Structure 1
């Protein structure tokens, strides 16, 4: 069955390695690339990426030895399941496995780090050894699951990669930075409402909202949550669902598939998933009880 191409990604399938390794890759609007790779029980992969940084998460591995080389650094410890590693760009990578493995990799360009006030090079203060970070792991897994299911949204993609870049680079808070002002917050909320009313399938990007507020992406995301109690993505999703509830009450004969399209969701299934996540019930049940 062909995988659905989610909003905010372009989808491709590729093969790599010497023994039938394969991965699915999704390209983000920023140029970042998300990959889910599977290596057979005996396999090898060699190559390089030209991004500023790659973040790797080990999802599964069978018994056996794994050898990892990055440039001139040989025989690095392999990650255990649930651990992550980093690799720099423009560097030869080699990976040999005697035991099946499944790994998620996100390669990020320098521009993503610049947007959050950091540098990719700052991330390598962690070194090249495997590390654990539950927050990074959770966001990377959700980004991958949304891409694979076709249920992602552009605003979420922007927010997720900004969070990952900011967390990896850990930029220091700029001195004198003030919280989101009431006027700036009003501009942002008005822009969201206008977008949902006029172009529901194209909500404003996180960068566009941050520009309206006069803040970096990472600073805006933190300030918006402090001001509203929600992330920008969660706020937009909730407002879309509230609009859906009004339409379900006011137009009871409108097919759910048409309603989903009118609200900017990819399809009825995508709409139903989001509706249930926010309200705890399905659109059909909500309509019957309205």
Structure 2
């Protein structure tokens, strides 16, 4: 992989979010709020923190909310400006920096994460790129905190080592069947070289409890490998199968990110993330803490 900042990031957002029905009948799961911001905003902020100026949303033909969210809201902005509500106006206008563009690509069929990433090929071209799964919220402080987001951490490792990088996290052994699991050799405290990967192994045969979570930094070579990947169960093209093939060509590293991960693809994870953000909010943090303590009694 070439060195340099990560210019392009792919967001696979075509999923139906069935775990959150009936809300996701009309609201994309990536638009579900964590306190006062939707999940996709946290993901976009992380991508911009990593240096991205092109955000590629792989969506389906029915989901328009994400495009609407990042588009200019002329009527709302005009009303806020006339009312002198400048703080709120800044919030509305601050969803996306002016130098960053959004590109929307349609995934015609739900054929797996690998297929969704492949749909982004014409926009990504021949440079390294990131992939963020927005329902995996990884929090390392606000972008202004000085602490790098997960994708920036990974992109720096990828550039330094000229390698692909996958975010990993230790999970309970009984949960290995829910994740792609890596067999790896430690290089440092946070970095390991991946020897092989196993998709959703049973606990008794899993090579480790180190699970791949929703962040990837990949070379453009992955696209040709995805094109050669045979569909698996349900006709889906798995990204992990293509990364397995990539291992035969170049180094792919597992990286334990600094930050707290919330699995917002399920109800409990979304609640945990919301409470975490509420406790850190200067306006409601103390009241949230009082509420939680009162519930313990």
Normalising by structure 1, report the TM-score: 0.24
Normalising by structure 2, report the TM-score: 0.24
